[in-house]
Copies of this chain bind each other. A is one copy, B any other.
């Protein structure tokens, strides 16, 4: 579908041309070099420098800009140790000559997981693979418990913070996480500095907050962390971990894992270290100790505005964070310099006399790395205003070479497709939309392609179809907008060709690494600026609402089908397990020379009545089709008054998807359609109220959330019907 209501996306227009002409990969390179020259974590001198420098830049470009400061809990390590016998893990990377890691002078955080729980423990290790719920089920089958043990998990599969959380819930007293070379080291490509991937001594820092409970400052859930806010303590804050945890390198993990005994790890638990992976428990105890300084530190959000000429109270908000774990060249500064370049280009447009019809708000967030501190506190503080005024939040983060990816509210599919049709890919000389379409279609044609990509390709093989906007969970600064406020959200970027991830959250995420391996010359930095810039231009100026509900309705039909299948398959699995247990099948099949146990018992799954959800899905599809049809006929002839009323109806439609009481056990998460999976982390769980009630065997929550979710979808459809009536009327 093409975008209606604006000429902007129908190929190059003078305004887009002017915008594009002001963009400059060279400027982005210079800014990247400057901002990634020193460690820039929350509370560091360079973090403050970046905020101040950006404030100046915005003002120079002609924006109205200021810094908003929040006071956030941000513990940093005082001392830490991982030891086994005479072996001591090296908990900091060595500088690499010729790299910023060797020229930066400020304090670089050592190996470290923010919001782990300080402690000093000694116990045998158990290797838990990725440390997921499935992995603990496998451990039960193997008859191995982590109670009183220290677990060692490898990075991957689920978000980092899930690993120590599940370890704690299973009785472990400490948690190590290491980067297996299979996942982002030599198994994936040559290691830095020869290639892009993680060298043996590389360490992935990161947050271990229980952000699935709530993100942002742990001491001020739901409210802005202003200086005078009412605060919890680190001990009473639910999102702070209760056990000590540290990340380690694979050079160090190899020593610990090679000393393990016990059964050989299952085939899909093995990484690329040249050892036999054992599950343990190991015979040699490991000592893990972490002590932190639990400080409140300032987080500096830079907020810059161009006031809308016609609709100043309709805001297009766009953000990217500016804090890193060390130098953070890729993550986040590659996205940050693209944002600045856009700001510069909007400044250039303003110098020609242009003003957007709506207000444009550019935000440079602090404290994303510890867990979305700057964006969450700002969104919480300005919640009411944002829910009223924000028509769109566009987020980016680290950027790289390759293919466009977009996620967020799925009613943005048509909008994204229109934007992507107007930006040329620098490598393939077709639009970035055409390129991602070709990528999906060829990947789906490859032998062994999975059913999901085949289904996506089937949809995309119709050249008139919209590009997919993936459902989003968390993992970057869009979370508060999508999950908490229900503001229409788009998270966007490029990647997939640079084998990235090898220096993620390490001391080697540097200017040199980024410009050699991730995006030479920042060609895709400029493409990102174009893509986001065109999206913002369109959103700020369009006569018609951004949202096209047909893609969303299609996604919901799929998700409703999935959750019903989930209940069925879980019911069948419980029945199958019951039979097998009665037959002692597990005991009979087990190898008696190895430890073994029985599976974690599954509760019998009741039959649920999904009718309300089925009907809501069907009604949504019907209302979406009617709206699209009415829009096609009447959009060209709307009066300004009608257009304004249509905009008013549509700009908050995604907020109909919220439940004010939130999800069970985590009231901060209010979106009934999208949430970070409770034990997945960044990854999304769609229809989370229903889905997680099933997976967590909370049977009474299933009908309750079938009802609430159906109600939300019905509210969305009702809003569409109002808009359709308006269009026809």
Chain A window 404-438, contacts with chain B (Cβ cutoff 8 Å), 1 for yes, 0 for no: 00000000000000000000000110100011001
Rounded to whole angstroms, the CA-CA distance of A584 and B439 in the bound complex is 11
* CB-defined contacts of A191 to chain B, threshold 8 Å: 276
Interface membership of A615, Cβ < 8 A? no
Q: Find chain B residues with CB under 8 A from A99 CB.
A: none
8 Å CB interface, A586-602 against B: 586-589, 591-593, 599
Q: Which of B186, B430, B461, B589 contacts A438 (CB 8 A)?
A: B589
Instruction: Check if A274 sits within 8 Å of B434, measured CB to CB.
Output: no
**Nearest residue, chain B, Cβ from A272:** B272
With A274-B273, A428-B592 known to touch, is A580 a contact of B189 (CB < 8 Å)? no
Q: Are A181 and B499 in contact (CB under 8 A)?
A: no
CA distance A186 to B576 in the complex (A): 35
In the complex, the answer to whether A137 meets B447 with C-beta atoms within 8 Å is yes
Chain B CB within 8 A of A17 CB: no
Q: Are A428 and B588 in contact (CB under 8 A)?
A: yes
In-complex Cβ contact of A264 among B188, B267, B402 (8 A)? B188
* A573 close to B (CB within 8 Å): yes
| Cα distance A442–B428 in the bound complex, in angstroms | 49
A522 to B28, CA, bound (A): 71
A265 shortest CB reach to chain B, Å:
10
**A541 → B minimal CB distance (Å):** 31
Interface centre among A441, A445, A585, A589 (most CB of B within 10 A): A589
Q: Which residues of B contact A77 (CB under 8 A)?
A: none
A588 interface neighbour in B197, B434, B445, Cβ under 8 Å:
B434
Cβ-based interface call for A579 (8 A): yes
Task: Kindly state whether residue A385 has any CB partner on chain B within 8 Å.
Answer: no
Please name the residue on chain B nearest to A275 by beta carbon.
B186
Does A242 sit at the interface, judged by CB under 8 A? no
Chain B residue at minimal CB-CB distance from A429 = B588
Nearest chain B residue, comparing its CB with the CB of A186: B276
Interface assignment of A187: CB less than 8 Å from any CB of chain B: yes
Cβ contact within 8 Å between B270 and A441: no
In the bound complex, do residue A435 and residue B274 qualify as a contact, i.e. CB atoms below 8 Å apart?
A: no
Q: Within 8 Å CB of A584, what residues of B?
A: 438
Q: How far is the CA of A478 from the CA of B94 in the complex (A)?
A: 61
- Flag if B583 contacts A274 (CB, 8 Å): no
User: Does A577 sit at the interface, judged by CB under 8 A?
Assistant: yes
Inter-subunit contact B588/A435 (CB<8 Å): yes
Min Cβ gap A421→B in Å is 14
Are A589 and B187 touching (Cβ within 8 A)? no
A134 within 8 A of B: yes
Determine whether A497 belongs to the interface, using a CB cutoff of 8 Å to chain B. yes
Question: A662 at interface (Cβ–Cβ under 8 A)?
Answer: no
Task: Write out the residue numbers on chain B whose beta carbons fall within 8 Å of the beta carbon of A435.
Answer: 588-589
Q: Nearest Cβ distance between residue A587 and chain B, in whole angstroms?
A: 8
| Residue of B402, B442, B447, B592 touching A427 (CB-CB under 8 A) | B592
Question: Is A588 a contact of B264 with CB atoms below 8 Å?
Answer: no
> Which residues of chain B are near A137, meaning CB under 8 Å?
447
Is A456 an interface residue, CB under 8 A from the partner?
A: no
| Chain B residues in 8 Å Cβ range of A430 | 588
Chain A 247-277 near chain B by CB (<8 Å), digits 1 or 0:
0000000000000000010011010111110
Q: A427-B592, A435-B588, A588-B434 are in contact. Are A445 and B580 (CB under 8 A)?
A: yes
Answer whether A583 and B438 are a contact pair too, CB < 8 Å, given A190-B276, A264-B499, A276-B190.
Answer: yes
Q: Which A residues from 81 to 102 make CB contacts under 8 A with B?
A: none
10 contacts between A and B (CB under 8 A): A137-B447, A141-B446, A181-B274, A268-B448, A402-B591, A427-B592, A428-B587, A438-B580, A442-B580, A445-B599
Contacts A428-B589, A441-B585, A442-B580 aside, 13 further interface pairs with beta carbons under 8 A come to A190-B264, A195-B276, A274-B274, A402-B591, A430-B588, A435-B588, A435-B589, A438-B580, A438-B585, A439-B588, A442-B585, A443-B589, A445-B580
